[in-house]
Amino acid sequence: MAEASPPRPVTTHELLRMKEQQQRIVMLTCYDALFARILDGAGVDILLVGDSVNTVLAAADTTISATLDQMIYHTRIVRRGTERAMVLCDMPFLTYQVAKDEAIRNCGRVLAETECHGVKVEGGVHIAPTVRALVDVGIPVMGHIGLTPQSVHALGGYRVQGRDDVTAQRLKNDAKALEDAGAFAIVLELVPAPLAAEITKSLAIPTIGIGAGPSCDGQVLVLHDMLGLNERFSAKFVKRYASLADEVRTAVGAFSMEVRSGRYPGKEHSFEK
């Protein structure tokens, strides 16, 4: 029997094709090789190594204190666990906003040290020149507008963006500027569904929504939220597809009981010689 051919990797061109053919794009955050293998095997198209690792796994209040070394470490191990999915690194705060040459240096380091497929940066019109500079040296860039977590203090908290005509137009301008700068896709976070639909229709590149309604070309959630592992976070846009925190507690409780009672390990778990 002939060996099965390896899965075809997801590329920026594949994402454009998916938008053209109205095939929805699936994206999840991922922070380690074990989950990367599971998600890759389940057919997820994009694995985003989000700076949300700082809040989800490191218990920080915001993503702002995530470091470049932290993101490189997690992106490297996620990349090791994938064959098909596109792996993107979320560039942390102040690694791309200060100057174009610094952004190129930091993003280039990420690609060289992790072998990931691209980076994600937050911001619209003001960051577009940097996006163009990155694209011009061969670094694929996904944009991110709407609620941008690295600007949470400036935005006055985690709130829906674009609810009035002025801010809605600003988001439209941001999306167009990112597309013109060469971004291959844009995350729309906490944007009213009608506005997200209008932006999505206006762009040739895909949009990935999180709290932005059903009309985006794809959807993303934080993995630990959708699996029900992160019980301290809840939001209207999050749907929990499992309750793994409950299952973990049950399993750990059973293990603890068997250890304390002497039932584990049994003969079947022991070596005689």
**Residue 165: both structure tokens together:** 């005509």
| DSSP letter assigned to residue 126 | G
Which residue type does 161 have? Answer: Q
Burial of 256 (0-12, 13-18, 19+ CB in 10 A): exposed
pLDDT at residue 4 in the model: 60
Burial of 242 (0-12, 13-18, 19+ CB in 10 A): exposed
Task: Identify any residues that bridge with 31 across adjacent strands, giving them in sequence order.
Answer: none
Which residue in the block uniquely carries the two structure tokens 């609810």?
Answer: 163
pLDDT at residue 158 in the model: 83
pLDDT at residue 7 in the model: 77
Where in the sequence numbering do the catalytic residues fall?
Answer: 189
pLDDT at residue 65 in the model: 93
Task: Identify any residues that bridge with 87 across adjacent strands, giving them in sequence order.
Answer: 47
* Topology, domain 12-242: TIM Barrel (3.20.20)
pLDDT at residue 249 in the model: 97
- Contact yes or no for 191/198 (Cβ under 8 A): no
- Contact yes or no for 201/168 (Cβ under 8 A): no
Alpha carbons 258 and 70: distance in angstroms, whole number = 37
Question: pTM to 2 decimals?
Answer: 0.95
Q: What are the residue ranges of CATH 3.20.20.60 in the chain? A: 12-242
Helices (H) and strands (E) in the chain, counts: 10, 8
Q: Is 70 left (phi over 0), alpha (psi -120 to 50) or beta?
A: alpha
pLDDT at residue 2 in the model: 53
CA distances to 47, 89, 91, 165, 266 from 111, in Å: 15, 9, 11, 38, 48
The one-digit pLDDT tens for each residue of the chain (273 residues) are: 556 666 789 999 999 999 999 999 999 999 999 999 999 999 999 999 999 999 999 999 999 999 999 999 999 999 999 999 999 999 999 999 999 999 999 999 999 999 999 999 999 999 999 999 999 999 999 999 999 988 887 787 889 999 999 999 999 999 999 999 999 999 999 999 999 999 999 999 999 999 999 999 999 999 999 999 998 888 899 999 999 999 999 999 999 999 999 999 999 999 988
Compute CA 101 distance to the chain's CA centroid, rounded to the nearest angstrom. 25
Alpha carbons 88 and 117: distance in angstroms, whole number = 6
